């Protein structure tokens, strides 16, 4: 399946197997850009910047084959409200705790959507089956959305979860709330500079700065640290992904 590009990527990490060419709408992406969701590919389903992109330059991967691309990345299937069948898109690069970057992603919540939690953050990007398939060994937004948002009042949290039933190494709950059952379009931003990481929802008062991610989420330095996003319901979509690095 081939689809024209609807997401913008900027990748300027200092080293990616010797490749430092940015992937951006102005320099490299072309009409051959596509989401290749064919799980039979040797390197697995992944976003390909364009027809000349090498495996070393791949940006995003779908490790579980749980997403498709249609006007944005969406979960496959038709999960009911409050489903815990959660999966995650993740960067191929797995040492993001050791580099500086800014990551932006826009997500779309339809009106009266199934209750769901949007996860956007940094970590292993592997579902923790012991904790409702939330991302294990990860520091991330937990953005409650949907018709009732699990009865939370549409809370937005920033949490660090290692492994185990609702086990947190850092918790900053109810930073604010996003509009309710009417839905909307929102852009999340995460910026890392040294040991400090700032989570924010642009154009809102929702912001949290963690001075030392090593203290809040020590597992980021002992396991894979990938940028990630995901959820359970295919009613939600993700697009306009931008990664800028120093």
Read off the pLDDT of residues 49-77 as tens digits, 9 standing for 90 and up: 444 444 444 688 998 999 998 888 999 99
Within a domain: 162: yes
Within a domain: 240: yes
Within a domain: 52: no
- What is the tally of structural domains in the chain? 1
Q: Which residue has the tokens 């929702």?
A: 206
Within a domain: 32: no
Q: What's the sign of the alpha-carbon dihedral 52, 57, 62, 67?
A: negative
From residue 176, alpha-carbon distances to 9, 141, 180 in Å are: 28, 12, 12
Q: Of 203 and 18, which is predicted with more confidence?
A: 203
∠ CA 218-192-122 to the nearest 5 degrees?
A: 55
Check pLDDT > 80 for residue 156: yes
Q: 198 Cβ partners below 8 Å, 6+ apart?
A: 189, 190, 191, 207, 208, 209, 210
Within a domain: 207: yes
pTM for the complete prediction? 0.81
Check pLDDT > 60 for residue 2: no
Tell me the residue range of the domain where 193 lies: 60-245
Average pLDDT over residues 150-179: 97
**Least confident range of 42-51, 113-122, 188-197, 237-246:** 42-51
- Token pair listed for 120: 């956007």
Within a domain: 117: yes
Distance CA 237, CA 28 (A): 24
Domain at 85, CATH number: 2.60.120.200
Q: How many whole angstroms from its chain centre is CA 41?
A: 22
DSSP reduced 3-state for 112: coil
Q: pLDDT tens-digit profile of 102-128?
A: 999 999 999 999 999 999 999 999 999
Q: Which residue has the tokens 């944005």?
A: 72
Within a domain: 233: yes
Within a domain: 185: yes
Quote the pLDDT of residue 245.
Answer: 82
Average pLDDT over residues 6-31: 30
User: Do 170 and 217 form a contact (C-beta atoms < 8 A)?
Assistant: yes
């Amino acid at each position: 399946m081939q689809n024209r590009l609807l997401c913008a990527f900027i990748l300027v990490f200092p080293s990616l197997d010797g490749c430092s060419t940015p992937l951006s709408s102005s320099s490299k992406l072309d009409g051959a850009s596509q989401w290749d969701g064919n799980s039979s590919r040797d390197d697995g389903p992944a976003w390909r910047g364009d027809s000349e992109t090498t495996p070393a330059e791949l940006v995003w991967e779908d490790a579980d084959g749980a997403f498709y691309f249609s006007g944005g990345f969406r979960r496959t299937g038709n999960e009911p409200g409050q489903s815990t069948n959660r999966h995650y898109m993740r960067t191929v690069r797995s040492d993001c705790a050791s580099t500086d970057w800014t990551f932006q992603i826009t997500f779309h919540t339809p009106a009266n959507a199934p209750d769901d939690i949007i996860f956007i953050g940094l970590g292993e990007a592997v579902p923790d089956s012991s904790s409702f398939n939330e991302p294990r060994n990860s520091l991330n937004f937990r953005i409650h959305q949907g018709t009732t948002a699990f009865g939370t009042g549409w809370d937005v949290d920033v949490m660090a979860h290692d492994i185990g039933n609702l086990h947190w190494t850092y918790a900053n709950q109810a930073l604010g709330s996003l509009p309710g059952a009417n839905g909307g379009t929102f852009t999340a931003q995460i910026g890392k500079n040294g040991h400090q990481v700032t989570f924010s929802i642009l154009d809102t008062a929702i912001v949290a700065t963690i001075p030392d991610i090593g203290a809040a989420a020590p597992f980021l330095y002992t396991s894979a640290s990938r940028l990630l996003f995901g959820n359970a319901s295919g009613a939600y979509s993700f697009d306009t992904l931008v990664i800028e690095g120093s």
